[in-house]
Structure 1
């Protein structure tokens, strides 16, 4: 197949490109050329999807069997891209998010769950918001109709992760000592390796499947304790995981999700966060590797990459708890 990948140099996009090339597809990537090197064996077109001239240069004298959009964040930009591509591509696969669902994370979701209210013609340059992914979905569907697959992504981990949730934990545990194990160690979490996500997305293209798919790890695939123990095992660190309950963490002012990545208190606001129903995707071929394998491979990549010079962030929010604050929490846990 001739496949256009919007993105293609960072984390999930990189996973798509690597797998697509390995399968023998002819791949064109379109990105700004700043997030990482171009993959060997692709036609790399550098440009900004927000720049009309760059998009026009991309589509000139080119056509594809399918488009994979791993970089769409703003409905306005996605609509413009889809409008230009609708007569030059047979299929549009859009990487959306479970954030697009109106009732998530308070409730479990599946493909029938309502999405947030955000129109396809939302004006450009909106501040980050969960509803924007829902608007992007509408923008794609408006121009490609039933030639669309929408993949509502869960939490991605794996080598080359660019947010840094799993890398932060691996690097913290590698330093050893007493480490906060947040909340209930047995609480299930849903995680998916970016390589498994990409393999599923490409499989949909190859089989011609369309529609919406909730795409994440299996319910109960691992636990908070199991994930962090896998980090201990992978790093070989002399680290002691110290369970600290939700109430103690909240009383200490620890911010869920960011100061201790992936930690969410066991309360109604977060009740459905790790309960997404992936049965439709699994019936369509989604397969996910054990979390221990992903953790091992991510640690191997981190060792090859070397120390990071800037903090991990989610948007503008730094990830990770300060050492002094962690010590105070651990002292209270005693």
Structure 2
């Protein structure tokens, strides 16, 4: 099985490549060659740039499937499809749960839940445009490839090599123990999918030549944000006291804190039937903790600094 990965050296793409190689695929990478250039020595690398529309490296060759991990705007996806034409069998597009409407939805919706209107008049990625741009990309892939199109919609992805460090923040914070400031309700539900489970689903869908849309969400058991922090603490061998604090003054886009998250919960039933595994959250946390420590625990760009957290805890005590 020959697989082309558009963006395969960072986090999700990296996990897909690793799983595909374990499965026995012949993998070709397409990208700018700037991210982890020494990763996967020996694999064929085609150099191009989606931002500038440089797809010349894709003018030759054919593949049984393509996994598009780096398509964020319709131009990216449209130009890739124009370059590849019918020289690929299945086109797997990695989308997002951000495609869904944000209000009026019941928790646990399936893949037929109403999506947001597509957006095509901008390439600026923001909270308002990210989901609608992904909707437009989904529509274009389905229109071009029909039953040869597969859409995978991950929830929040966690695992080693996470460039966003969203889950890493809580793993690292829980490992310090003590009083943990949480600018949210600890009972807020969260869905975390291990990057390696997402990769296994993608590869299995390719093996089975399966069309349609699939939610990549986890873990297997329902989890709250407070429960997630406690699991991370147990893995690290520490004890935590979760202190709900006012969100006022917290950094924006706080890790895993979403006021509308209850309406964003999705069913994994279809994906489970298609082969999505369910790595226990404790295993994901342990692996992220080990990876974070191995890289020297660099500063994180999100969440509280220790000083901000202490101020939030002091404010809670005063109140």
TM-score, normalized by length of structure 1? 0.86
CA contact (8 A) 2:5 2:66 kept: yes
1:264 to 249, 258, 264: 258
Residues 191 and 127 of structure 1, relative CA distance in 2, 3 Å threshold: closer
Task: Summarize deviations over 1:213-240 as a string: whole Å, max 9, x none.
Answer: 1221157532222211222233334x53
1:28 paired residue number? 28
1:296 paired residue number? 286
By how many angstroms is 1:40 displaced? 3.1
Task: Summarize deviations over 1:244-271 as a string: whole Å, max 9, x none.
Answer: 1xxx423x33356x23x11234xxx443
CA contact (8 A) 1:82 1:139 kept: no
By how many angstroms is 1:127 displaced? 3.8
Residues 270 and 301 of structure 1, relative CA distance in 2, 3 Å threshold: closer
1:253 paired residue number? 249
2:123 to 102, 112, 125: 125
By how many angstroms is 1:294 displaced? 0.2
CA contact (8 A) 2:189 2:222 kept: yes
By how many angstroms is 1:111 displaced? 1.2
2:60 paired residue number? 61
RMSD: 2.2
Structure 1, unaligned stretches of length 5 or more? 313-318
CA contact (8 A) 1:28 1:45 kept: yes
CA contact (8 A) 1:86 1:143 kept: no
CA contact (8 A) 2:188 2:262 kept: no
By how many angstroms is 1:300 displaced? 0.8
> Matched residue of 1:205: which SS?
helix
CA contact (8 A) 1:103 1:113 kept: no
CA contact (8 A) 1:6 1:31 kept: yes
> Matched residue of 1:19: which SS?
helix
CA contact (8 A) 2:183 2:250 kept: no
1:315 paired residue number? none
1:279 to 269, 277, 282: 269
Task: Summarize deviations over 1:163-183 as a string: whole Å, max 9, x none.
Answer: 111112222333443222454
Alpha-carbon distance between aligned partners in 2 of 1:300 and 1:133, rounded to the nearest angstrom: 33
By how many angstroms is 1:321 displaced? 1.7
Alpha-carbon distance between aligned partners in 1 of 2:161 and 2:97, rounded to the nearest angstrom: 21
By how many angstroms is 1:332 displaced? 4.1
1:316 paired residue number? none
Alpha-carbon distance between aligned partners in 2 of 1:219 and 1:26, rounded to the nearest angstrom: 31
Residues 219 and 287 of structure 1, relative CA distance in 2, 3 Å threshold: closer
CA contact (8 A) 1:79 1:143 kept: no
By how many angstroms is 1:60 displaced? 2.8
> Matched residue of 2:139: which SS?
helix
Q: Map 1:227-242; keep pairs closer than 5 Å.
A: 227-237=228-238, 239-242=239-242
1:322 to 288, 291, 305: 305
> Matched residue of 2:95: which SS?
strand
Q: Kindly report structure 1 stretches of 4+ aligned residues shifted beyond 6 Å.
A: none
Residues 178 and 13 of structure 1, relative CA distance in 2, 3 Å threshold: same
